[in-house]
Each structure stands twice: as C-alpha cells, then as structure tokens.
C-alpha cells in the first residue's frame, strides 16, 4: 500500500511524463510541485560528481546552481584525481554542464606569499565545505579556500614540490564570474575558514564568516576582511544560513555532532545560543537552507548515530520556524543523505528547497536532485 504523502510525487512525475510524451524537451513545470513532499527532479546531461567536502551556491536571478571543490586526499574516480572544475545546473533547462576541464597538477604553482594558483589562473583542487557563496552585488561566486589537506601523502600526490612546502600554505579569497568563466584572486590574506562557514547577509550585502574562534565580515568597499570578536563555537564542520526574518546568521553543527543553534546579529556583532522549542537530531556538516518566503530553515538530518558518515542514506526532514524559534519534524519521506552535505539550497524564484546528493542505486556517485516546497 502506498502512503498518501508518498503518492503525491509519483502522481506529479506521471503528469510530467504524460505532458511531455515521456522524452521531449518541454519546460519543467516547477509550479506543479505539490507542497509538503520531496520530489525527484529529472535532469539531463552529465551530472556533477558528489564531492563529500565540496560546496555549492545558488544564483536565483540566473536560475543556476554552482558546485566547486574536491576531496583532494581521497578523491572519487569521477573526479579523475583532484579536480578544480566548476559545474553548474541550469534550473530552467535542468541541464548539467561543466565550465572547463580540470587543470593538471603540473600546472600547480605556489606563489611567493604562500598562496596557491594554477598557470591558468584558477584555484587548486581543495576542500571548500560551507565557504562557497553567491554575491549578487558583483555577480560572482566567492570561495575562501585553504589546501590544508595537501599534507596527506604530499610526496606521492605532489611530486613536483620538494621539502615541507605544504606547511606554509595560506588561505586564498577567490571569486568566479559565471558569465565570463574567469577566476579572480584577491591579493591579501583572508581568514582561515577551512571546514568552517561563510554566508551572505543580503540586507547589508556583506559576507559573514566564522573560523570557530573568530567572526569576520568582508567589506567590499575596501576589499578587507574585518575581525569582530570571538567565533560561535569551537570545532569544525560548521554550516550557516541567513535568517531574513530575524536579521541574523544562524549556525548549526559541529564535528562532534550538535543540535545547538547559534545566532549572530550584525548590529551587535556577537554570538548567542538560540533558546529553541523542541529538538532536532545532532548535526555535523549540516544540510541546511533558509526559505525567505515562509521564514523557515530546512535541516535534513542523518538518521544514523554517525552524522559524518551515514552509509544507509536514511534521513529525516526538520523545519526550524524563525517566528517562534521552534523545531518541527516533518512526517514525510526524506531524500538520501550520506553524511555531511554542504550543497542544499533554497530557490526563492521557484519557492523550493533543492537537495543535491548521490544516489548509488540510481546515479552512482553522481548528483541526484530533489525538491521540497514547504508551503
């Protein structure tokens, strides 16, 4: 017997197939997605590989989602080693594409200031975690990266360098123009945000970042990262969203697993623990996104004792309500989730949450797409 909440997405997909004849290129009807259920979204083209420690961001005005980052010391076969390619998904055509082929390691260079670059002017392959963000004020993707994990088997992986070169590497602030497909590196030392988090404050058009022990704000007018006091919480694998209802950044998760929610209000420039009603499952590299229409935060939790690695892929969908600081566990079937995930987004144009994760039985190690319209 099929449950009612499981039947809705099946009927929706059946309608899509009937309306398109099952195979032509008719536009996808986002408006027809029912509220309150996760729907499997069909895509075309070669999907990006699911990279465990990579990040993503959405440019709603461009109807595109961008994916960047590599696991570096433990890349998947689909990454062909350590890939610094940038992938995108067009939400109008639902087609995947890759902007450029990855740079070979022979093109990797270490600059005099200990930052890293390739001869083509791109970042190295590296973990990005929750430090990939779209800045609409300049029409660029912002990435703060640090190749910390080059320290793993450096002689084998980077035979072109000698000595202990990996110990002196620094963070870099990179920005990517999806229109020109060009990377730009800022000539200063940004904060070290490895395995930490960054988010855009859309009300002030500023980037907020936490390094765990410090909080930083990027002043684009002066091209400087300014430090403001202490960070939110120690540890790593942090995830942030911006709560437009209360006007503050929200942080969830920690490498040890935590459901404590922290908030940073830009005017006060200090963190506080949010006193919430109800509980959520612990988070470690949390899959979260914020719905600016309904003023709620989505949290897809691993249904496993180990939030870092969830081999069964089972998950639970939670909603945090900003108005009354309340967690709600949704009684719906949830999409696959295999541990940490920094890819989940909210699309205000289509009013849907978008979840990106591999699906071994369906897509192998490549990304599969799910959508949820809360209301």
On the question of pLDDT at 98 being above 90, the answer is yes
Q: What is the pLDDT of residue 75?
A: 61
- Compute the average pLDDT of residues 229-247: 91
Q: Residue 365 has which token pair?
A: 């190690």
Q: Which CATH architecture has domain 4-372?
A: 6 Propeller (2.120)
The pLDDT of 271-295, averaged and rounded, is 97
Average pLDDT, rounded, for the chain: 91
Tokens of 298: 């989505």
Rounded Cα gap, residues 14 and 11, in angstroms: 5
Backbone angles phi, psi at 16, to 5 degrees: -65, -45
Beta bridge partners of 118: 108
177-181, 231-235, 281-285, 368-372 — which is least confidently predicted? Answer: 231-235
* Parallel, antiparallel or unpaired: strands 55-59 and 352-359: unpaired
pTM: 0.93
Which pLDDT tens digit goes with each residue over 316-338? 999 999 999 999 999 999 999 99
d(CA 313, CA 144): 29
Q: Where are the domains of the chain?
A: 4-372
Integer Cα distance of 10 and 354 in angstroms: 18
Q: 13-51: per-residue pLDDT in tens?
A: 545 544 444 444 568 999 999 999 999 999 999 999 999
């Amino acid at each position: 017997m099929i449950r009612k909440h499981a039947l809705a997405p099946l009927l929706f997909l059946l309608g899509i197939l009937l309306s398109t004849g099952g195979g032509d290129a008719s536009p996808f009807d986002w408006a027809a997605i029912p509220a309150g259920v996760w729907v499997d979204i069909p895509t075309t083209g070669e999907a990006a590989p699911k990279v465990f420690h990579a990040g993503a961001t959405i440019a709603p005005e461009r109807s595109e989602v961008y994916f960047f980052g590599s696991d570096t010391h433990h890349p998947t076969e689909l990454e062909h080693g350590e890939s610094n390619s940038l992938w995108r998904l067009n939400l109008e055509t639902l087609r995947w594409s890759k902007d450029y082929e990855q740079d070979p390691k022979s093109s990797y260079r270490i600059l005099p200031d200990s930052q890293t670059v390739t001869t083509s002017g791109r970042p190295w392959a590296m973990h990005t975690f929750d430090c990939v963000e779209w800045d609409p004020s300049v029409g660029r993707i912002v990435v703060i990266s640090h190749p910390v994990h080059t320290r793993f088997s450096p002689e084998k992986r980077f035979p072109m360098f000698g000595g202990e070169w990996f110990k002196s590497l620094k963070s870099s602030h990179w920005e990517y123009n999806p229109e020109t497909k060009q990377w730009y590196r800022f000539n200063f030392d940004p904060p070290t945000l490895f395995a930490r988090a960054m988010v855009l404050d859309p009300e002030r058009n500023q980037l907020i970042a936490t390094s765990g022990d410090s909080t930083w704000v990027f002043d684009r007018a002066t091209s400087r990262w300014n430090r403001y006091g202490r960070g939110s919480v120690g540890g790593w694998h942090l995830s942030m969203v911006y709560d437009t209802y209360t006007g503050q950044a929200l942080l969830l998760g920690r490498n040890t697993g935590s459901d404590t929610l922290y908030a940073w209000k830009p005017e006060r420039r200090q963190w506080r623990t949010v006193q919430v009603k109800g509980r959520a499952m612990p988070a470690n590299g949390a899959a979260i996104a914020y719905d600016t229409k309904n003023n709620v935060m989505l949290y897809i939790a691993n249904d496993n004792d180990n939030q870092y690695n969830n081999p069964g892929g089972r998950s639970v969908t939670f909603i945090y309500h900003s108005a009354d600081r309340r967690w709600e566990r949704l009684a719906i079937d949830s999409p696959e989730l295999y541990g940490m995930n920094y890819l989940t987004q909210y699309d205000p144009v289509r009013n849907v949450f978008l979840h990106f994760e591999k699906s071994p039985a369906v897509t192998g190690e490549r990304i599969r797409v799910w959508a949820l319209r809360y209301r």
